[in-house]
Chain A
Amino acid sequence: MPFINFSKDEIQCKIVYYGCGFCGKTTNLLYIYNKTIEDVRGKMVSIDTDGDRTIFFDFLSLNLGKIRGFDIRVQLYTVPGQVHYDATRKLVLKGVDGVVFVGDSLKTQREKNIESLINLAKNLAEKRLSIRTIPLVMQYNKRDLEAEGAEILPVEVMEKDLNSMLKAPYFTASALKGEGVFETLREISKLVVKDVSKKILLDGRGRSAGTGAI
């Protein structure tokens, strides 16, 4: 649910990083926070437990600059990945405009990735949103662990498991090292802004609501 403010010529969008526990959602946001200048980002808010598990969500607000005269402000959220925090995940998904699904490349996490994707589809459906139509980007994280001797899933297997039907754009990543983090963010932002622009142009509300036009 984008919020378009014609008084400030600003569009606010909500992007949620989804995935199973410990797949690296918070690490993505932390890397973005650490690598962006203060002028374009707000505070990073984390509600987690002592064991670094997100209990509610992480939040980071970013200003992406101007597109056709509108300031684009994205709000990045993560959800808690643990199965029993489903109620919290539903709360965070409220008003979502785009999703980054972070898949854990570790072989041991294969089933958990699939479970989490099914859970995402179910929770979106409850909000009358479809996983097939919402702007979605896949990120296959922790690719760097291969060099450390961990057994990781080949990208083709992850694509088959998670993306064979959805055909969403995907990126391999190592959020800890920053590889693929900004590429993922850029792609989902692009998809969300495109989606918002399309919706406004389609119903012509952009013109009737104010002076600006997307």
Chain B
Amino acid sequence: MDIIVSEEDIKRIDACLNKMLNKSAAVSAFLIDRSGQLISNCGNPSALDVSAFSALTAANFGATSEIAKLLGEEEFNLLFHKGQNENVYFSVVGENMIIVIVFDDRTTVGLVRLSINMIMDELLQILSPIYQKGE
């Protein structure tokens, strides 16, 4: 399966991510494939190595999915890591993607979560045809 994303797709994905960032006042947003490939990122990722960040995010999700299975759950569909200055919120998008939001104390996890829910349907509408084409 190949994932081929056109310029138009990326524009629409970025518009979604930016809308979410504006609404939530988060620092940056990443859309990552479950195999660890970065699809797009918006906001201010500062000096972050986005490739390594994407690989670790996918691995993190993979590992916690296995924990979920041990507990008899199919999957944990959101994860939250709290740091001293920055926090990270992860959520699954359909079957193949993960959205990751980095945010600080200028906003709250509740608002971030709400903002993700707001764009979720739109994101799925953009992403589903890309994956269907790739199969």
Q: B127: which A residues are within 8 A, CB to CB?
A: none
CA distance A205 to B133 in the complex (A): 9
Within 8 Å of chain A (Cβ to Cβ): is B120? no
What is the chain B residue whose CB lies nearest that of A206? B4
B34–A5 CB distance below 8 A: no
Determine whether the beta carbon of B2 is less than 8 Å from that of A91: no
In the bound complex, CA of A209 to CA of B36 (Å): 22
Partner of B3, one of A2, A56, A87, A94: A2
Distance from A72 Cβ to chain B, minimum over Cβ atoms (Å): 13
B11→A1 contact, CB < 8 A: no
Q: How far is the CA of A95 from the CA of B1 in the complex (A)?
A: 8
Known: A91-B59, A91-B62. A199 touches B37 (CB 8 A): no
Number of interface residues of A (CB under 8 A): 35
User: Which one, B7, B10, B33, B63, contacts A56 given CB within 8 A?
Assistant: B63
Residue of A nearest to B55 (CB): A59
Are A200 and B59 CB-contacts (below 8 A) given A3-B37, A75-B36? no
* CB of A210 within 8 Å of the partner chain: yes
Query: Are B51 and A73 in contact (CB-based, < 8 A)?
Result: yes
Q: Are A94 and B35 interface neighbours, CB within 8 A?
A: yes
Q: Chain B: how many interface residues by the 8 Å CB criterion?
A: 29
Q: Is the interface of A mostly helix, strand, loop or mixed?
A: mixed
A168 within 8 A of B: no
Q: Are B37 and A196 in contact (CB under 8 A)?
A: no
When distances are taken between beta carbons in the complex, the residues of chain A under 8 Å from B56 are 45, 59
Question: In A76-93, which residues have CB < 8 Å from any B CB?
Answer: 77, 87, 91-92
Closest residue on chain A to residue B56 by CB atoms = A45
Q: Are A43 and B11 in contact (CB under 8 A)?
A: no
Establish whether residues A5 and B10, one from each chain, have CB atoms under 8 Å apart when the complex forms. yes
The reply to whether A7 and B33 form a contact with Cβ atoms under 8 Å apart is no
Alpha-carbon distance between A6 and B52 when the two chains are bound, in angstroms? 22
Does B5 sit at the interface, judged by CB under 8 A?
Answer: yes
Contact digits for A181-208, partner B, Cβ 8 Å, 1 yes 0 no: 0000000000000001001100001100
Nearest CB in chain A: distance from B14 CB, A: 9
- In the complex, the chain B residue whose C-beta lies closest to that of A62 is B51
In the bound complex, residues from chain A placing their C-beta under 8 Å from that of B58 are 94
Partner of B52, one of A1, A2, A45, A205: A45
In the A-B complex, the 3 residue pairs with the closest CB atoms: A95-B35, A61-B51, A7-B10
Give A contacts to B, CB under 8 Å. Answer: 1-8, 12, 14, 42-43, 45, 47, 56-57, 59, 61, 73, 75, 77, 87, 91-92, 94-96, 196, 199-200, 205-206, 209-211
